[in-house]
A and B are shown apart, each in its own frame.
Chain A
Amino acid sequence: MNTCTIPMARCAGGINTATAVGRSRSHVKVMAAVADRASSFCSVKSSDYYKVLSLEHSPAVGAEEIKRAYRRLALQCHPDVCPPSRRAESTEFFLEVRRAYETLSDPAQKLRYDAELRTGGAARRSRDEFARDVWEAQLSVLRARSERRQRASRVGRRHGMAHA
Chain B
Amino acid sequence: MHLVTLPFPLLLPPSTPLSPLHPTFYSREHCLPKLLPVLISTRKKRQQQQGPPKSHLLVPVTPSQLADSCWLSVSFATFYWMAAEPFYTVASDSETTGEDKSQPSFPDVAIGIDIGTSKCSVAVWNGHHVELLKNTRNQKGMRSYVMFKDDTLSAGVTGGAAKENAHEERDVLSGSAIFNMKRLIGRMDTDEVVQASKALPFLVQTLGIGVRPFIAALVNNMWRSTTPEEVLAIFLLELKALAEMHLKHPVRNAVLTIPVAFSRFQQTRIERACAMAGLHVLRLMPEPTAVALLYAQHQQQLMHDNMGSGIEKIALIFNMGAGYCDAAVAATAGGVSQIRALSGCSVGGEDILQNIMRHLVPNFDSLYAGQTMDRIKSMGLLRIATQDAIHKLASQDSVEINVDLGDGQKVSKVLDHSEFEQVNRVIFEKVEKIINQCLADAKLVPEDINDVILVGGCSRIPRIRSLVLGLCKTEVSYKNIDALEAAVSGAALEGAIASGVTDPEGSLDLLTIQATPMNLGIRADGDNFAAIIPRNTTVPARREMLFMTTHDNQTEALISVYEGEGERAEENHLLGYFKITGIPPAPKGTVEISVCMDIDASNVLRVFAGVVKPQGQGVPPFIEVRMPTLDDGHGWCGQALAKMYGSKLDLAVHPKKLQP
Could you list which residues of chain A lie within 8 angstroms of chain B, going by C-beta atoms? Answer: 37-38, 40-43, 67-68, 71-72, 74-75, 78-81, 83, 87-88, 90-91, 94-95, 98, 109, 127
User: Are A95 and B542 within 8 A (Cβ)?
Assistant: yes
Q: Are A98 and B336 interface neighbours, CB within 8 A?
A: no
Check B336–A80 contact: CB distance below 8 A: no
Whether A41 pairs with B608 at a CB distance below 8 angstroms is yes
Assembly CA distance A41 to B541 (angstroms)? 12
In the complex the two chains form, what is the Cα distance from A61 to B221 in whole Å? 73
> Could you tell me if A42 and B497 are in contact, using CB atoms closer than 8 angstroms?
no
Q: Which of A75, A90, A109 contacts B334 (CB 8 A)?
A: A75
Query: Are B538 and A98 in touch, CB under 8 angstroms?
Result: yes
Residue pair B511, A78 in contact (C-beta under 8 Å): yes
Find out whether the CB atom of A43 lies under 8 angstroms from the CB atom of B658. yes
Quick check: is B509 within 8 A (CB to CB) of the other chain?
Answer: yes
Q: Are B600 and A41 in contact (CB under 8 A)?
A: no
Q: A75-B334, A75-B336 are in contact. Are A38 and B601 (CB under 8 A)?
A: no
Which residues does chain B contribute within 8 Å of A87, judged by CB atoms? 600-602
With A74-B336, A75-B335 in contact, do A40 and B612 touch (Cβ < 8 Å)?
A: yes
Q: Does B42 contact A (CB under 8 A)?
A: no
Bound CA–CA A156/B445 (angstroms):
67
Q: B353 interface residue, CB < 8 Å from A?
A: no
- 19 A-B interface contacts by CB (under 8 A): A37-B610, A40-B596, A41-B542, A41-B594, A41-B596, A42-B542, A42-B544, A42-B658, A43-B544, A67-B312, A67-B333, A75-B334, A75-B336, A75-B509, A78-B511, A79-B540, A80-B497, A80-B511, A98-B538
Q: A38-B612, A79-B601, A80-B601 are in contact. Are A71 and B540 (CB under 8 A)?
A: no
The reply to whether A42 and B601 form a contact with Cβ atoms under 8 Å apart is no
Q: State whether B601 touches A74 (Cβ < 8 A).
A: no
B334 touches A94 (CB 8 A): no
Inter-chain CA distance A38–B658, complex, in Å, is: 15
Complex CA gap A42/B660 in Å reads 11
B598 at the interface (CB under 8 A from A): yes
- List the B side residues contacting A83 at CB < 8 Å: 500
Complex-state Cα separation, A95 to B540, whole angstroms: 7
Chain B residues lying within 8 Å of A94, measured Cβ to Cβ, are 540
Cα distance A94–B610 in the bound complex, in angstroms: 26
Tell me, in angstroms, the Cα distance from A37 to B600 when the chains sit together.
19
A74 to B339 Cα, complex, angstroms: 13
| Interface check B621, CB cutoff 8 A | yes
What residues of B have a CB within 8 angstroms of the CB of A95 in the complex?
Answer: 540-542
**A63 to nearest B CB, angstroms?**
11
**Docked complex: B601-633 residues within 8 A CB-CB of A:** 601-602, 608, 610, 612, 615, 621-622
Contacts of B541 in A (CB 8 A): 95
In the complex the two chains form, is A71's CB within 8 Å of B336's CB? yes
Assembly CA distance A72 to B596 (angstroms):
29
Besides A38-B612, A41-B544, 14 new A-B residue pairs in contact (Cβ under 8 A), listed by A number: A40-B544, A41-B594, A41-B608, A71-B336, A75-B336, A78-B511, A78-B513, A80-B497, A81-B511, A87-B600, A91-B540, A91-B600, A95-B540, A109-B660
B430 interface residue, CB < 8 Å from A?
A: no
Q: How far is the CA of A133 from the CA of B222 in the complex (A)?
A: 70
B498 interfacial by beta-carbon distance below 8 Å: yes
Per-residue contact bits, chain B 539-558, to A (CB 8 Å; 1 contact, 0 not)? 01111100000000000000
Assess the A90–B601 pair: CB atoms within 8 A. Answer: yes
Q: Measured between alpha carbons, how far is A38 from B620 in the docked complex, in Å? A: 10
Q: Which of B338, B538, B600, B658 has the most CB of A within 10 A?
A: B538
Interface residues of B (CB under 8 A from A): 312, 333-336, 338, 497-498, 500, 509, 511-513, 538, 540-544, 594, 596, 598, 600-602, 608, 610, 612, 615, 621-622, 658-660
Contacts of A81 in B (CB 8 A): 497, 511
**Residues of B close to A78: CB separation below 8 A:** 511, 513
Establish whether residues A74 and B544, one from each chain, have CB atoms under 8 Å apart when the complex forms: no
The residue from B312, B333, B497, B594 contacting A40, defined by CB atoms under 8 A apart: B594
Give the top 9 A-B pairs by smallest Cβ distance, nearest first.
Answer: A79-B601, A42-B544, A41-B596, A71-B336, A91-B540, A91-B601, A40-B594, A87-B601, A37-B622
With A and B bound together, what is the CA distance between A72 and B541 in angstroms?
19
Query: Which residue of B is nearest A112, CB measured?
Result: B660
B540 → chain A closest CB, angstroms: 5
How far apart are B311's CB and chain A's nearest CB, in angstroms? 9
> What's the Cα separation between A137 and B658 when bound, in Å?
23
Q: How far apart sit A90 and B512, CA to CA, in the bound complex (Å)?
A: 15
Task: Give the distance in Å from the alpha carbon of A42 to the alpha carbon of B511 in the complex.
Answer: 25
Q: Which residues of A contact B612 (CB under 8 A)?
A: 38, 40
Report the minimum CB–CB distance from B446 to chain A (whole Å): 21
CB distance from B119 to the nearest CB of A (A): 28
- Residues of chain B contacted by A90 (CB below 8 angstroms): 601
Bound CA–CA A95/B608 (angstroms): 17
Contact residues in A for B338 (Cβ distance below 8 Å): 71, 74
CB neighbours (8 Å) of B544 from chain A are: 40-43
A residues in contact with B334, CB < 8 Å:
68, 71-72, 75
B512 neighbours in A (Cβ, 8 Å): 80
The residue of chain B having its C-beta at the shortest distance from the C-beta of A83 within the complex is: B500
**Cα-based distance from A18 to B39 in the complex (angstroms):** 49
Shortest A126–chain B CB gap in Å is 12
Closest residue on chain B to residue A81 by CB atoms = B511
Residue of A whose beta carbon sits closest to that of B592: A40
Q: Name the CB-closest residue of B to A41.
A: B596
Q: Which residues of the other chain, B, contact A40 by a CB distance below 8 angstroms?
A: 544, 594, 596, 612, 658
A residues in contact with B500, CB < 8 Å: 83
Shortest B633–chain A CB gap in Å is 30
Q: Which listed residue, B511, B610, B615, B659, touches A74 by the CB 8 Å rule?
A: B511
- Whether A41 lies near B333 (C-beta < 8 A) is no
A98 to B537, CA, bound (A): 10
Return the chain B residue nearest A124 by Cβ.
B660
| Cα distance A83–B497 in the bound complex, in angstroms | 10
Chain A: minimal CB distance from B52 (Å) = 27
Complex alpha-carbon distance, A83 and B498, angstroms = 9
Residues of A within 8 A of B658 (CB): 40, 42-43, 127
A109 to B660, CA, bound (A): 10
Looking at A41, A43, A81, A90, which has the most chain B CB atoms within 10 Å of its CB? A41
> How far is B338's CA from A68's CA once the two chains are assembled, in angstroms?
12
Cβ distance A82 to chain B, nearest Cβ, rounded Å:
8
A37 touches B621 (CB 8 A): yes
A71 near B333: Cβ-Cβ < 8 Å: yes
Q: Which residues of A contact B602 (CB under 8 A)?
A: 87
Q: Across the two chains, which residue of chain A brings its CB closest to B532?
A: A42
A101 to B465, CA, bound (A): 35
Given the complex, which residues of B lie within 8 Å of A43, measured CB to CB?
Answer: 544, 658
Give the distance in Å from the alpha carbon of A98 to the alpha carbon of B338 in the complex: 12
Expressed in whole angstroms, the Cα–Cα distance for A90 and B601 within the complex equals 9
A42 contacts B513, C-beta separation under 8 Å: no
CB of B4 to closest CB in A, whole Å? 38
Smallest CB-CB separation from A64: which chain B residue?
Answer: B312
The CA-CA distance from A79 to B513 in the complex, in Å, is 10
Given A41-B594, A75-B334; A80-B498 close (CB under 8 Å) = yes
The complex places the Cα of A68 from the Cα of B543 at a distance, in Å, of 25
Residues of B within 8 A of A109 (CB): 660
Q: How distant is B522 from chain A, measured CB to nearest CB, in Å?
A: 15
Contacts of A88 in B (CB 8 A): 600
Shortest Cβ gap from A151 to chain B (Å): 37
State how many angstroms separate the Cβ of B6 from the closest Cβ of chain A. 33
Query: In the complex the two chains form, what is the Cα distance from A83 to B501 in whole Å?
Result: 11
